[in-house]
């Protein structure tokens, strides 16, 4: 689904599918250089990072491992509660791995901060963050994001894995959801 298919549900498109693919290819080149000769594990944060993780991994030309963690701090709300719940833990022991957390968006940073602390206690060789999107004005904690796609305004966005109440994840672009949809 493209933004043109649901114009009444959107305020504006922030990032197109084409811009996303170009940025993920650029980030993949940096990651390959930085992790040359290292045992790399991509950890996707479900459900939002599915699209980012899949497309980013396809841009890599080296062997990597992948695992998934499901955490929630939103529920069906448009704002983070700040309380992190583990819905699915990793299947991989992080000992000996260089971990790259792949995120769709850094909003308040609270969930990601919790993940970084949690992973640090599991024996990884290193832990870095790749995020497609970041909302600098929404940050409640500072997150060191080594690989960043785009800074966006502090609006409620959907698409490319981001949802509102489990809808709109299949939108190929990232767009601002019109307030009348969730008001």
Domain residue limits, the chain:
18-72+83-152
Average pLDDT score over the chain = 93
66: three-class secondary structure by DSSP: strand
Across residues 89-106, what is the average pLDDT?
A: 97
Across residues 171-183, what is the average pLDDT?
A: 95
CB 70, CB 87: distance < 8 Å: yes
CA–CA dist 44, 15 (Å, integer): 21
pTM above 0.85, yes or no: yes
Residues comprising the chain, all counted: 183
Which among 104, 107, 163, 173 is annotated as catalytic? 107
CA–CA dist 6, 29 (Å, integer): 34
Note if 151 is an active site residue: no
pLDDT digits (tens, 9 = 90+) for 138-153: 999 999 999 999 999 9
> What is the pLDDT, as a whole number, of residue 183?
82
Which CATH class for the 18-72+83-152 domain? alpha beta
Q: Residue 93: CB partners within 8 Å, gap ≥ 6?
A: 122, 123
Residue 103 β-bridge partners: 131
């Amino acid at each position: 689904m493209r933004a043109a298919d649901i114009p009444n549900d959107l305020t504006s498109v922030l990032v197109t599918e084409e811009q996303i693919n170009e940025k993920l290819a650029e980030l993949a080149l940096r990651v390959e250089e930085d992790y040359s000769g290292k045992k790399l594990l991509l950890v996707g944060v479900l459900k939002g990072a599915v699209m980012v993780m899949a497309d980013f991994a396809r841009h890599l030309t080296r062997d990597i491992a992948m695992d998934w963690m499901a955490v929630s701090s939103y529920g069906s709300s448009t704002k983070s509660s700040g309380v992190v719940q583990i819905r699915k833990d990793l299947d991989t022991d992080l000992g000996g791995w260089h971990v790259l957390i792949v995120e769709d968006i850094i909003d308040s940073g609270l969930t990601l901060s919790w993940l970084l602390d949690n992973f640090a206690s599991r024996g990884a060789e290193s832990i870095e963050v790749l995020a497609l999107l970041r909302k600098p004005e929404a940050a409640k904690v500072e997150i060191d994001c080594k690989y960043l796609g785009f800074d966006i305004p502090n609006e409620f966005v959907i698409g490319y894995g981001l949802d509102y109440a489990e809808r709109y994840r299949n939108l190929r672009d990232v767009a601002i959801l019109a307030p009348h949809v969730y008001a």
